[in-house]
Amino acid sequence: MKSDFGERVKRAAASIPAGFKPETAVILGSGLSGIVEGLGYREIPFGEIAEFPKPTVQGHKGVLCLSGKNAIMAGRFHYYEGHPMDDVVLPIFALKALGVKNLILTNAAGAVNESYAPGDLVLIRDHLNLMGTNAFIGPNPADSDGKPFGPRFFDMSSVYDQGLRAVAASKAKRPLKEGVYAALTGPAYETPAEIRMVRAIGGDLVGMSTVPEATAARYLGMRVLGISCVTNMAAGISSAPLDHAEVVEVGKRVESELKALVMDLLSALA
Ligand code: HPA
């Protein structure tokens, strides 16, 4: 990370209206932002938060919603949009500065595992970082007093908290599968050969997000839950070409189920 990262985190956190002390934060993926509609949370557009870049992708709302012990980010910053990794993970540091202890990451993903189907919700058990980089390359980030936010070398042996997965499984209206999420940079979808590679090395799902944020959250000592919404079978599994409109459309279809699960999780963790 760049040496000004700690100052940027401080500015971001300071620009969020005072009086909110969230303990659990949710990040909503592509096409899943509708979850915040009608919740009555205080909505802060990303543009009003210092140091947050403007989101560019369609289907991402770009607001931080706050209420009581909960924070919900509708929209996130993707590496494929051209944001530096510092910007991709900055919101996680800002949420940590507000007091967040639990992070629920959601995403739209392609299914590599052929036992999954579009519309499935899958709990992430572990991940493969195939983005070719790591947000923590560079100086270990430190706060404005020079104190590092976390250790230089940090454990990644249990990123996705087993206890949170158990709570999610108990709240879900239908059995949830579990799998390994492989993150590639995008924005091109994968080739069939890349999907065969992901399968061969143990991936069940593919996507273009989540891994940087989960890595940052573990660095900061948060408990992490990852939920993938399967929007399509990955490239080469069916003969149909991949299409962003389909990803958004399937996301919309499962949004109410995911909303119920997320709201039940927020109640359970409050
Ligand atoms: N690949 C990568 N990212 C995705 C996909 C996919 O098939 N579906 C939704 N996000």
> For the segment 198-254, what is each residue's pLDDT rounded down to a tens digit?
999 999 999 999 999 999 999 999 999 999 999 999 999 988 888 888 888 888 889
Query: What is residue 16's predicted lDDT score, i.e. its pLDDT?
Result: 95
Is-contact 212 89, C-beta < 8 A? Answer: yes
Ligand 1 near 86 CB (within 6 A)? no
Paired strand residues for 109: 230
Paired strand residues for 66: 42, 71
Residue 57 pLDDT more than 60? no
Share of the chain above pLDDT 90, in %: 83
Ligand 1 near 62 CB (within 6 A)? no
Segments of the chain assigned E as strands: 24-28, 42-45, 63-67, 70-74, 102-111, 121-129, 177-183, 205-207, 223-233
- CA 204 – ligand 1 centroid, Å: 12
**Mind telling me the catalytic residues?**
30, 60, 78, 80-81, 108, 208-209, 232, 244
Q: Which amino acid does the sequence have at 154?
A: F
What number of other Cβ atoms are within 10 A of residue 99's Cβ? Answer: 14
- CA 163 – ligand 1 centroid, Å: 27
Residue 162 pLDDT more than 50? yes
Ligand 1 near 109 CB (within 6 A)? yes
Domain boundaries, the chain: 5-269
Out of 2.40.170.20, 3.40.50.510, 3.30.460.10, 3.40.50.1580, which CATH number does the structure's domain 5-269 have? 3.40.50.1580
The atom of ligand 1 lying closest to the CA of 208 is 3
- Site to probe by mutation for ligand 1, drawn from 60, 112, 190, 237 as the one with most ligand atoms within 8 Å of Cβ, is 190
Residue 266 pLDDT more than 90? yes
C-alpha 260: how far from chain center: 18
What number of other Cβ atoms are within 10 A of residue 156's Cβ? Answer: 13
pTM of the full structure = 0.96
Query: What is residue 136's predicted lDDT score, i.e. its pLDDT?
Result: 97
pLDDT tens-digit profile of 212-223? 999 999 999 999
For the segment 55-69, the average pLDDT, to the nearest whole number, is: 77
